[in-house]
Amino acid sequence: MPSLFDPIRLGAIEAPNRILMAPLTRGRATREHVPTPVMAEYYSQRASAGLILSEATGISKEGLGWPFAPGIWTEEQVQAWKPVVESVHRAGGRIALQLWHMGRVVHPDLGGGPPVSASAIAAPGDAHTYEGKKPNVTPRSLEAAEIPRLLDDYRHAAANAMKAGFDGVQIHGANGYLIDQFLRDSSNRRTDEYGGSIENRIRLLREVTQAVADTVGADRTGMRLSPNGEVNGVVDSDHVALFTAAAKALDEIGIAYLEMREPRPGGNFRGAEMQAPASPEMRKAFSGPLILNSDYDAASAQAALDSGAADAIAFGRPFISNPDLPARFAQDAALNPPDMDTFYTQGPEGYVDYPALEAADA
């Protein structure tokens, strides 16, 4: 069986190890969603990851509802991403951009208009705004006639990502955002060709993935799913059947990899004890590399590879506070604890000031 330190091919990307950096929203872009210079330092510090999966990045103003998160729909954003990508490449790394549409959890105060979703059902809880959290509003149901426009937004964002120099893209189909809202029967009550049966509910996932793959190449297209219990108010009555069908559809398109946030007992993600894991059945339906992510340490990650449950593991919080995480795993070194109070602040503190091993030893 492979070790965490063995290389792996992810479509067109040759990753030198199987310790991937998971997508991590950090809120260091401008109010206009333009990447900033400190982001280049942050990502280049973590270039030893087998592949960096960038923070979720808005494909359009309509779809971005997180303050100070970056976008990829304007030329200014593309040009600001270029030095970030170049810094990662100079450090020997590889980086893919995650494409994000948040759907019903975008608040109108962010200027993108009324939020859209599969159905006119408000998400529970609060949305993020520049004035703090506010109750989620009821979205309007995205009309079938608008789907081509949405697909064009994904194509445009994917093309911009390649223009900025990224090695590939990852579609965010997880965590209760727009694609996930179409997938789950709790948030999708449609009666047209995008609702009802599982085959209909995975239609948007299939069409978005095909549009992006046609734009950048299937071998540079990845997908993130979260076949778990409730998150952002979405849940499904038969998650194993749903996500196995989704995995089969993605396999038919031939994407480079499938990365999943699937909670495990004792983890920090809601729904961890609610449902049986879907990944074993999805593994049978998806023939490409399967990447798991949820509260792994080095030992449990290697065990997942040894058992054949996954081909690589994506790490989130450990990469926030340990920019040299692969080296720390290799040396069985202690990990810096993350400071949760700085996860979404706009300054360098808790972002680019975590020490690497050499600095810690000194």
Helix 75-90 and helix 37-45, axial crossing angle in degrees, nearest 10? 30
pLDDT, one tens digit per residue, over 154-202 is 999 999 999 999 999 999 999 999 999 999 999 999 999 999 999 999 9
Confidence of residue 272 (pLDDT cuts 50, 70, 90): very low
DSSP-derived secondary structure letter, 347: S
What pLDDT, on the 0 to 100 scale, is given for residue 359? 58
The residue with greater pLDDT, 258 or 265, is 258
**Residue among 261, 334, 256 nearest 296 (CA):** 261
Structure tokens at 76: 């200014």
Confidence of residue 266 (pLDDT cuts 50, 70, 90): low
pLDDT, one tens digit per residue, over 84-130 is 999 999 999 999 999 999 999 999 999 889 999 999 999 999 999 99
Q: Which residue shows structure tokens 């004890």? A: 273
What pLDDT, on the 0 to 100 scale, is given for residue 263? 82
Residue range 305-311: mean pLDDT, rounded: 97
How far is 336 from 329, CA to CA, in rounded Å?
12
Share of the chain above pLDDT 70, in %: 96
What pLDDT, on the 0 to 100 scale, is given for residue 275? 73
3 within some domain: no
Tell me the backbone φ, ψ of residue 14, rounded to 5 degrees: -95, 105
Number of domains in the chain: 1
Known catalytic residue: 177? yes
How far is 250 from 221, CA to CA, in rounded Å?
10
- pLDDT above 90 for 352: yes
How far is 175 from 198, CA to CA, in rounded Å?
18
What 3-state DSSP class applies to 309? coil
Q: Average pLDDT over the chain, rounded to whole? A: 95
The residue with greater pLDDT, 52 or 271, is 52
286 within some domain: yes
Confidence of residue 273 (pLDDT cuts 50, 70, 90): very low
DSSP-derived secondary structure letter, 177: S
Strand 95-100 relative to strand 52-58, pairing: parallel
For every residue of 51-101, DSSP letters joined together read: -EEEEEEESSTTT--STT--B-SSHHHHHHHHHHHHHHHHTT--EEEEEE-
How far is 70 from 354, CA to CA, in rounded Å?
22
32 within some domain: yes
What pLDDT, on the 0 to 100 scale, is given for residue 304? 97
- Whole domain around residue 29: which residue ranges? 8-361
1 within some domain: no
Distances, alpha carbon 252 to alpha carbons 22, 44, 201, 213, 260, in Å: 25, 34, 17, 12, 18
Tell me the CB-side half-sphere exposure of residue 250, using CA atoms within 13 A: 32
**Residue among 142, 140, 145, 65 nearest 110 (CA):** 65
Residue range 38-44: mean pLDDT, rounded: 98
- pLDDT above 70 for 361: no
What 3-state DSSP class applies to 125? coil
Residue range 46-75: mean pLDDT, rounded: 98
Confidence of residue 360 (pLDDT cuts 50, 70, 90): low
What pLDDT, on the 0 to 100 scale, is given for residue 212? 99
pLDDT, one tens digit per residue, over 67-91 is 999 999 999 999 999 999 999 999 9
For every residue of 229-252, DSSP letters joined together read: S-BTTB--TTHHHHHHHHHHHHHH
Q: Which of 177, 257, 296, 354 is catalytic?
A: 177
CATH number at residue 110: 3.20.20.70
Q: Which residue shows structure tokens 């729909």? A: 73
The answer to whether residues 34 and 337 touch, using CB atoms and an 8 Å cutoff, is: no
Please report the sign of the dihedral spanned by the C-alpha atoms of residue 155, residue 82, residue 77, residue 10: positive
What pLDDT, on the 0 to 100 scale, is given for residue 329? 98
Q: Which residue shows structure tokens 């990851």? A: 49
